[in-house]
A and B are shown apart, each in its own frame.
Chain A
């Protein structure tokens, strides 16, 4: 800024060129004068609307009344029907000896699984036996519960030659789009075998059926207790990254559980872990009857195959201790929400799965910026270039804030060396930087509050400031006290603050 005055002075100085009485002096000694300059440094405008612009709407939303909500989303955990189908398909992947006729193939498992219907997407079937009779064997096979693509019962006829002890294999039967309709969870294989020349009946031994590469597109039945293990997940809450101390109480925090379920099976949550980790290192468990008893997830019944049922469950302060644990400077939400099918073991409920069935669960933390704060301290450290102070003998920084936020802020300024050691402190105690805007009964600000602050820098403090490499700004935020209490306030997208900085220096 001195250059401006030099510029102005320059015009005059030129006039003295011809017989400048100062020519004999190396420089102008100001003698007994201390020049004082006052210059604006700049201003910053903090508008919530600007801050919100371009933000991911999954992370920040604004209510119709302007209230801002922060959202922290967990991972999307997905389980498909592949796991269940794999179990069935694996159990059928071995040659099955047919040692009687009719021969029973059960579609059930010891854990209670009972399948009443299966639609095949693909797969093959083949029979094998050994003929040592010296004659041809006429073989007729029927699978009454197995229907071909035309919904006809599968019936097969073969003329089995004597191969001298070498196994005979039937044709490979393509089972694509076959249906197994087994209301009693049983599939029968029936056959007759007669000698071609005499017509005498005989039992085939060995006689095997081989199912290969079977893939199902639909299964219907009672699926017993299938566990969806979703694993452990963590949601990071960065709101308190720079927190030092103090309290924040969110008036109405929420935890959302979203379940998207296209399994046609009743399912209930099993909460293995649900806890909040705080900036103080505490681990606070979420407590709720729904944690203990589980949450029943919606499912599409047998009449809504292919649809996805959505369950949106919310933990709030009415059904849990969420306000306590999220009001304690949360930094992480750690959870594992598994799910179990047919939690009530009601075998009367016929369920289904398809090859596209999936179960997806996600957890989100929602923090409406509505609450109170007491000495919520944050600290930020900036690199500090003090070259501009090189010639200053005395300085006074002036800060004028016009605060539309219902938060007051006190500040402290520390000058640090390269090793972050404090070499000077500007204030003896935190100084009010901005007073909070007044609020109405609903917690909305009603006016803008202006605060003027002066920060003097002189003497040892200024000398130390010149030596500093960094400057640390400590801000302590609080909501206002009114009539002895601290009413909750709301942060909205309309709020803004303006901070102007000016400097006087000699």
Chain B
């Protein structure tokens, strides 16, 4: 066991460790735990999963407190502080999961489930120079090449999952099959950009190998200005069913060794093919903009500044196509260890890996689950997140009749000091449970 813990720690600390996979849900005994490992058995024979919300926000670089300052009661954006807090490369990650309906039933050793979720996934990777360029202009970069590489993955989709799990002696195996229906997407397929401002008369060289795909609710406007549009607020029931289809799988296995339980899972293995209202905007250029040919001014009787938008269009040399494209879901892999420390106490650890585009997120969490009374379940966790070691989680579930209310977060200090936090995570909801099942072996 000691060797295993050393291995887990070594894995988690072998580079940046990001908080992504939930720690507490893994040891919660809630039906929602099947979303992180479909091999879990419910402790109730029938569970009706009510509406619940899961939210996870994580970013590096400046905190809200770095960006927003208050002076004489007025809150303002402190750009300098914001920039000072940026790392060379910065990350923003957002997950939202709105569970609409679902349920699970145990039939002997077999568990069957049906669930529907709306999911939103967002990830942005950007350089400090990009932010500096946006906020400070290129004046300070005259003579230097500014790296503007970035990666943006943004999509929302509807997920209908059917699942099943079965106990085979000490082994539990389970799987979910998910039908995915994409609502909207904006995704950089290639994100290499750089800008060089010549020290002469500031000729701008723009090098790009860039391609961004948009579908349904997202678009790029190239008319009077150049801007991305993504408007999830326009989602209504008429737009929930689209032609953007996808399939995903969850797989899980649990090995019950008595007081020790080992688990492994791989979830969200799948992709969505975007075919509806698709636009691809690509730029592959190595262009230098030297301004306009003003030779005509020698014989002209007026002096006008050139059209900025026209200039940028020619510089970026953006082409538009309508080719279908696919986005891969952020796959999550977990290894779990649970130890029954007493009649009402479980201790556990979970090592998680999530891959999303070119990013991978690793997390290492430890948790304890304590059930002082039959209707109450308390949890605490500790998670290593992004080189910080003070992420303490709390959670609990209270059963009142068939209703089982629950709430949990992996970083409860963020609730009290949001301005300095970089990780906000939480889950809240209610299940209706019927027929306590004896999960004892």
The minimal Cβ–Cβ distance linking A103 to chain B, given in whole angstroms, is 75
Which of B94, B123, B200, B294 sits near A44, CB closer than 8 Å?
Answer: B294
| Nearest CB in chain A: distance from B70 CB, A | 12
Q: How many residues of B contact A (CB 8 A)?
A: 74
Query: A1-34 CB contact bits vs B (8 Å, 1 = yes)?
Result: 1111111111110111111011001001111110
CB of A501 closer than 8 Å to a CB of B: yes
Most buried by B among A37, A42, A381, A384: A42
Which residues of A lie under 8 Å from residue B226 when comparing CB positions? 3-4, 6-7
Q: How far is the CA of A156 from the CA of B94 in the complex (A)?
A: 129
Produce 1/0 per residue, B284-311, CB < 8 A to A. 0000011111110110111111101101
Q: Which of B77, B201, B295 lies at the interface centre, i.e. has the most chain A CB atoms within 10 A of its CB?
A: B201
Q: Does residue B260 face the partner (Cβ distance < 8 Å to A)?
A: no
Complex CA distance for A16 and B58, rounded to whole angstroms: 11
Is B67 among interface residues, defined by CB-CB distance under 8 A? yes
Chain A residues whose CB sits within 8 angstroms of the CB of B315 once the complex forms: 4
Instruction: Say whether B76 contacts A21, CB under 8 Å.
Output: no
> Are B312 and A500 closer than 8 Å at their CB atoms?
no
| Bound Cα distance from A287 to B334, whole angstroms | 107
**Interchain CB contact under 8 A, A17 and B79:** no
B135 near A35 with CB under 8 A, answer yes
Give CA–CA (A381, B300) in the complex, Å: 10
B215 within 8 A of A: no
CB of A64 within 8 A of chain B?
no
Q: Which residues of B contact A384 (CB under 8 A)?
A: 302-303
| A6→B221 CA distance, assembly (Å) | 13
CA distance A275 to B163 in the complex (A): 108
Q: Are A506 and B124 in contact (CB under 8 A)?
A: no
Mark B199-210 against chain A: 1 for CB-CB distance below 8 A, else 0.
011111000000
Contacts of A4 in B (CB 8 A): 226, 312, 315-316
Residue of B nearest to A7 (CB): B226
Interface string of A120-137 (1 = CB under 8 A from B): 000000000000000000
A12-B131, A32-B79 as given contacts; A18 in contact with B120, CB under 8 Å:
yes
Q: How far is the CB of B346 from chain A (nearest CB, A)?
A: 33
Select which of A15, A41, A46 is within 8 A of B201 by beta carbon: A41
Residues of chain A from 339 to 378 with CB closer than 8 A to chain B in the complex: none
Contact with A506, one of B68, B130, B139, B201 (Cβ below 8 angstroms): B139
A271 to B132, CA, bound (A): 77
Interface residues of B (CB under 8 A from A): 57, 64, 67-69, 75-80, 83, 92, 94, 96, 120, 122-124, 126, 130-131, 133-140, 142, 148, 150, 152, 154, 186, 188, 193, 197-198, 200-204, 225-228, 230, 232, 289-295, 297-298, 300-306, 308-309, 311-312, 315-316, 424
Task: List chain A positions with a Cβ less than 8 A from chain B.
Answer: 1-12, 14-19, 21-22, 25, 28-33, 35-46, 381-385, 387-388, 398-400, 471, 499-504, 506
What are 5 A-B pairs with beta-carbon distances under 8 A? A15-B154, A35-B139, A40-B291, A382-B297, A382-B303
